[in-house]
Structure 1
Amino acid sequence: MAAALIGVLALQTAATAQAQAQEKVTLLSNWYAQAEHGGFYQAVAKGIYKKYGMDVTIKMGGPQVNNMQILVAGQADFSMGYDFAVLKGVEQGLPLVTVGTSFQSDLQGMMTHADVPNLGALKDKTILVAGSGQSSWWPWLKAKYGYTDAQSKAYTFNLQPFFADPNTVQQAYPSSELFQAEKSGAKANFFLFAQDGYPPYGTTIVTLQKTVATKPDLVKRFVKATAEGWKSYLEDPAPANALIKQDNKNMGDEQLAYAVKKLKELKVVTGGDAAKQGIGIMTDERWKKTYDTMVSTGLLKADVDWHKAYTTQFVKDMHVMP
């Protein structure tokens, strides 16, 4: 009995020590909770972060949240990010660095009516572009196909102008606007910008350069656990979706299911370089293409040290295979 009691006490002590060893980590999301955040929520729901010694809290972002500012202020350890924003931040002297990615391509694209065959067929169309698009994909699209600012009008995240005018096209995400259009019975096409060569990654993992320098083991564990979260989410999204609905009361099961279906169809997590090198992989070649795109469209100064915007040290040997 004494031996058994000692054994129980030892197990309790080990469990307590493990609980105390969990490092508290805050992740800031880039929008309201949704399927595009599924890998992160899955890593929480399935205890994957805890397996790697982390107690992770996800704080929701939104349209009024400046993620990079909050990160630099030390109010979060990691943030979901975007290559253009990080490169621009580096240009402005912000100590940001991208350490991994969720998606091998940005999910931004164009929703058109059914008669439009491709992105190159918009010369007689009115194109709805949000403010964020003006400083990211719109200069790239103009340069690629010869479109002009005279064609563009402001996108206010209201689909009625699109429904009312068959000559109007608009920016869209496959899991959001396309879902709304289909629910309304509209016949629409969707063209992912990445399939026409738009180079940035999507929903990246961004932290501070000092975090990489002083806590490389934490960064490595967070990136690895997140990649495993994405693999798990695509296999069974239910645990993460339950947490997503808790954070975002407006997110329903139908839209979550639709979004997961699109993530799988477009292979943004598991396709591209991830198919052979693992989920979360980034390459120098892709970052160079993004830098070149920004410079050629006037969004970034050519003398920016673009290598500061990312590091592949945490993903190159990770090999979380789809």
Structure 2
Amino acid sequence: MRLMDRGKFWVAALMACALLLAAAPAGALTKVSLQLQWVHQAQFAGFYLAQDLGLYRQAGLEVEIRPGGPGVDPLGELAARRCDFALSWLSEAMVARSQGVELVNLAQLVQRSALLLVVFNDSGIRNIRDLNGRKVGLWRRQFAVPPRALFAKAGIQVEEVNQSVSMAPFLQRAVDAATAMLYNEYDQIYQAGVDRDEITVFDFAEQGLNFPEDGLYAMQDTWKQRAQVCRAFTRASLEGWRRAFAQPELALAAVMKRVNAAKLASNPAHQRWMLKSMQDLYTHRVGTALLGQLSPYDLLQVNRILVSQGFIPAPVEAQGFVAEAWKEP
């Protein structure tokens, strides 16, 4: 058996064992649901492995993982009690919290912003101030908060263009700059045939706007009344991510199973890139031992920027907002 064939064999064998474990009889399981921010992709690989490897069942949970999409607002679903847990960016959750939505951060997953602005080198844009008066593609909701804070910080005004899920407007030069995620659209640009030396990237973290992104949230009364369930779900999810980073091919198989079932236009090479990027973003500064930690400095910095730019009237206090369900009680 060739080495590559052996590798595929063992991935298939591990997946088969995982499915048997997940299907094993158990006592009464608590049913909960998780609302993702986007369609199935490696951005959520750890949750898939926690499900496929039976980690949730071992924690006494039966978990429904719901994909998101352009018309899905995870925090809206959470506030309406249509799901038990949801993923959201820290900045969006803080804005919602300041507006009276009693959200609790159970775990901060992404530690470093992956948000980028990309421009073609021949556009003449060399720094952020060169975007003044230019057309800039922006996503809505939480994705628009950091760019607007950056433009306010630089003292410029741009012509905002509603950016869809496609990078076609940028590739066709319909906008001067576009929003991209390091783990997704950035790679899509190169897959479309653009060379790396043809574009300039403005990294928000390097621009002093490191807004930690994906975090795991519940409503405050859920945390108070069902803390055990929240802890069990959080810890099993984080263990799923540790397994994903330790066994990337197994994680990739779990991702592609869902991508293919949903008939999504993607490929293993892109999803592998995304998974590697997620590992860098999750373990930035905290490693794997402290996955889920929300840095007090990051909370302070995001509060400062959101208040100074008028997104929230006053800082969001850590007490009541940061639950740290990943820690031992």
CA positional deviation for 1:194: 2.1
2:10 corresponds to: none
The answer to whether 1:260 aligns with 2:275 is: yes
CA positional deviation for 1:176: 2.6
Match for residue 137 of structure 2 among 128, 133, 150: 128
The answer to whether 1:141 aligns with 2:153 is: no
Query: Residue 95 of structure 1 contacts residue 209 of structure 1 at CA under 8 Å; is this kept in 2?
Result: yes
2:311 corresponds to: 299
Gaps of 5+ in 1: 1-14
Distance 1:16 1:85, change over 3 A: closer
C-alpha distance in 1, partners of 2:104/2:85? 10
The answer to whether 1:68 aligns with 2:80 is: no
C-alpha distance in 2, partners of 1:135/1:17? 44
**Matching residue's letter, 1:254:** A
Match for residue 162 of structure 2 among 141, 154, 157: 154
Distance 1:211 1:227, change over 3 A: same
Query: Residue 35 of structure 1 contacts residue 256 of structure 1 at CA under 8 Å; is this kept in 2?
Result: yes
Match for residue 190 of structure 2 among 176, 182, 186: 182
The answer to whether 1:210 aligns with 2:221 is: yes
Q: Which has the larger radius of gyration?
A: 1
Query: Residue 107 of structure 2 contacts residue 325 of structure 2 at CA under 8 Å; is this kept in 1?
Result: yes
2:324 corresponds to: 313
1:56-135 paired onto structure 2 within 5 Å? 56-114=63-121, 120=128, 122-123=130-131, 126-132=135-141, 135=144
Query: Residue 112 of structure 2 contacts residue 212 of structure 2 at CA under 8 Å; is this kept in 1?
Result: yes
C-alpha distance in 2, partners of 1:211/1:204? 16
Indicate the RMSD between aligned Cα atoms, in angstroms.
2.9
| Count, aligned residues | 299
**Matching residue's letter, 1:280:** G
1:290 corresponds to: 302
Distance 1:136 1:255, change over 3 A: same
2:169 match: secondary structure: helix
**Matching residue's letter, 1:294:** L
C-alpha distance in 1, partners of 2:80/2:239? 29
1:239-278 paired onto structure 2 within 5 Å? 239-246=253-260, 248-250=262-264, 251-264=266-279, 267-272=280-285, 274-275=286-287, 278=290
Query: Residue 106 of structure 1 contacts residue 203 of structure 1 at CA under 8 Å; is this kept in 2?
Result: no
C-alpha distance in 2, partners of 1:301/1:75? 28
Query: Residue 22 of structure 1 contacts residue 54 of structure 1 at CA under 8 Å; is this kept in 2?
Result: yes
> Which deviations, in whole Å up to 9, do the C-alpha atoms of 1:132-187 show, x marking residues without a partner?
3674112221133333134x433234433322339822111123322221122112
Gaps of 5+ in 2: 1-21
CA positional deviation for 1:276: 7.8
Distance 1:246 1:186, change over 3 A: closer
Query: Residue 105 of structure 2 contacts residue 217 of structure 2 at CA under 8 Å; is this kept in 1?
Result: yes
Query: Residue 89 of structure 2 contacts residue 142 of structure 2 at CA under 8 Å; is this kept in 1?
Result: no
Match for residue 48 of structure 1 among 55, 60, 66: 55
Distance 1:16 1:45, change over 3 A: closer
CA positional deviation for 1:312: 4.2
TM superposition score normalised by structure 1:
0.82
Distance 1:20 1:128, change over 3 A: same
TM superposition score normalised by structure 2:
0.80
**Matching residue's letter, 2:186:** L
2:11 corresponds to: none
Distance 1:191 1:312, change over 3 A: farther
Match for residue 30 of structure 1 among 30, 37, 41: 37
Distance 1:287 1:252, change over 3 A: same
**Matching residue's letter, 2:254:** A
Query: Residue 102 of structure 1 contacts residue 269 of structure 1 at CA under 8 Å; is this kept in 2?
Result: yes
Query: Residue 110 of structure 1 contacts residue 171 of structure 1 at CA under 8 Å; is this kept in 2?
Result: yes
